[in-house]
Structure 1
């Protein structure tokens, strides 16, 4: 599983996190395309190298190309809903903005639908939020976590006058999370805090991972003696015991032809698994229970996707613990082709070794053979290669979520 950990010990802002993800290897054009899908021709993203307290970092300049109106949460939600985006990017962005809107609504005493993003700036916050969600998707991050967030200290001038730090919206968003002052001034913005709390589980210490890359994103100011940066550590790894959320909804009025696309969209939104259970509801009506299992940090986007894609008015949730085998991929030669074998192992010993079905099915069509024959041949080749239960884990196993 590819995972990323956010070091926000010097603060957090949306553009800083976006810069860190680009610095870690996210594709700039993929990010630009996602932002343009939501607000075409409204902003320009320009990364460049800077130094902060003597350390190299990437800074992203988010520039307006036109005059922008202040938008409500309802208007931003409609823009994201109508945009052509990967489902996971859409679900993540909606979850972040919904969290931000609820915090602003509570602070200002208005309804969520009437929240105007004038203080955080609608166009630049859209670029930051959608850009970060697109960067995470491009990097293939399946598990995002974050350490304590530095929020700053003192007072700051805003459109509402002089306010204490952390400003009310940041304090509302940070409820239940570990924070620290970390320095003078405003170090955490509402957009940055919304991204962290909506998408990342709290993990005070760096989780175990095989480190692949480090990204450093710079804030706008160069503070002497304190690097004004957000770091992202990107790697692979899997903890055996995972805290997860099981989301369920009973639905009796959805066109059954839609269900395959709903399940696929929930997986793309970040669910570890999604399935249907046939049930009989009141008055003898046939129905389904929609179930989705997600890591705690992915619950918000998956929940948002359920409400957006189905007719349900409510979602039941309960915490569960999932014990997962460590896993990786190996390849075997079958009928002149290389087929991936998914290997699950524990304490250095293989527990499961299974051919990837879709690859086997494609090879079966190509060779005009039954799929079962190709699967049997792949299992035989795996056993010959000592990829079988009880065998030691081979050193060439690939630590990746994808066989390709």
Structure 2
């Protein structure tokens, strides 16, 4: 499986993600849609960070933009972040609402998968800001992360990830840094409140240090919260390319870089994002419970389980648990309420499950001169390595009835035919 692995021991900012992706082989020309839409230019240069040759990316406003180009006055666009994400003259770009940023991204004419990723990242940023300030998402206003250069970071990262064509993205624990940082609302300890909110929504782990400076910015955290799985260590992989994205600041004896490694990892199960819905029932008939698998699957349920339980006043009841895709949760919950009459459905953010790739094959069995067909399910990992073969019981039972053979014998013959 083609995998991109980030090494986050010096944190991550939007510009560092861009630099790391370019250094790992992404095409600079893939960024053209953002430059055309926002009248900006990505300035890409090779810099030295404590002996490491790294790629530095800065977003410059073109003359057509009407604001001149970025100046290095020490202010950074990413909540005052000390890791040196693109320096710019303070106040570049308006402070936009979440809805305004969405309109800008949707107006860029991006490929649908890239637009979906960019919007998902901004939704994470909006939810984090809303949680910090106690506002609704639609009422949330971005400050630094709503400026043109921050939008260029997010959309640029989505474009470069698509260009690399990786199937999996992972990151080691991300270092947040330490000390305090000056923000538009005052002085805060590192990590900043928005970064903490984003880490809560992410799959990766957050670490402190190793220097007293802000290393992980909201933009960097949001990009990786959307695209990356957390791993304790870099996975075993055959390396095809590697590169380093540079932060703006330099630290004594510590290279301020984000490393990206691209290569092939060993086969594994496929990651599938899910959520879990559940409700308790104390008055459902057996017929209704037995039909839930059919009725809920029709609106997107991936799996339905009904478990006996004990409810208040020691009354017997049932716990219904439903696995579905996050985007189908509201529809499935509504059907569950309609079918059962329950007054409430709980949702648990399970995150993801690991699933096999599945295919079905129909095999022909010759028994006493007659041909019979049996469906067989084949399970394989992401590299196509088969690890399980299972005959469909109902098909095997029908053949057993017709031939007088035991069902187990029919199952063994069907599965052996596929394996052979």
Fold match (TM-score > 0.5): yes
Tell me which residue corresponds to 2:282: none
SS where residue 93 of structure 1 aligns? helix
Tell me which residue corresponds to 1:179: 206
Tell me which residue corresponds to 2:3: 3
For 1:107 and 1:165, the matched residues in 2 are separated by: 15
Deviations 1:230-270 (A, max 9, x none): 01111123432344234799xxxxxxxxxxxxxxxxxxxxx
For 2:302 and 2:245, the matched residues in 1 are separated by: 34
Q: Which runs of 4+ in 1 moved over 6 A?
A: 310-318
Q: Is residue 299–residue 332 contact of structure 2 (8 Å, CA) maintained in 1? A: no
> Is residue 115 of structure 1 aligned with residue 115 of structure 2?
no
Give the alignment of 1:233-312 within 5 angstroms: 233-246=261-274, 289-290=299-300
Tell me which residue corresponds to 1:44: 41
For 2:100 and 2:119, the matched residues in 1 are separated by: 12
SS where residue 299 of structure 2 aligns? strand
Q: Is residue 248–residue 292 contact of structure 1 (8 Å, CA) maintained in 2? A: no
Aligned residues: 290
Q: Is residue 240–residue 324 contact of structure 1 (8 Å, CA) maintained in 2? A: no
Change (3 A) 1:280 1:163: closer
Any gaps of 5 or more consecutive residues in structure 2?
A: 68-92, 278-293, 304-324, 336-346, 359-381, 390-417
Displacement of 1:390 in angstroms is 7.0
> Is residue 146 of structure 1 aligned with residue 174 of structure 2?
no
Moved more, 94-103 or 108-117: 108-117
The alignment's C-alpha RMSD in Å is 3.5
Displacement of 1:313 in angstroms is 9.7
Identify which of 106, 121, 136 aligns with 1:81: 106
Deviations 1:30-62 (A, max 9, x none): 1232x246x431x21011000001110000011
Tell me which residue corresponds to 1:214: 242
Displacement of 1:21 in angstroms is 0.2
SS where residue 98 of structure 1 aligns? helix
For 2:123 and 2:275, the matched residues in 1 are separated by: 18
Any gaps of 5 or more consecutive residues in structure 1?
A: 250-278, 282-286, 294-301, 326-341, 352-388, 392-404
Moved more, 105-114 or 212-221: 105-114
Change (3 A) 1:149 1:313: same
Tell me which residue corresponds to 1:27: 27
Tell me which residue corresponds to 1:72: 97
Calculate the TM-score normalised by the size of structure 2: 0.61
SS where residue 262 of structure 2 aligns? strand
Tell me which residue corresponds to 1:60: 57
Change (3 A) 1:36 1:239: same
For 1:109 and 1:121, the matched residues in 2 are separated by: 18
Deviations 1:336-370 (A, max 9, x none): xxxxxx983359xxx9xxxxxxxxxxxxxxxxxxx
Displacement of 1:314 in angstroms is 8.1
Change (3 A) 1:246 1:186: closer
> Is residue 96 of structure 1 aligned with residue 106 of structure 2?
no
Structure with max Cα Rg? 2
Q: Is residue 2–residue 235 contact of structure 1 (8 Å, CA) maintained in 2? A: yes
Tell me which residue corresponds to 1:344: 384
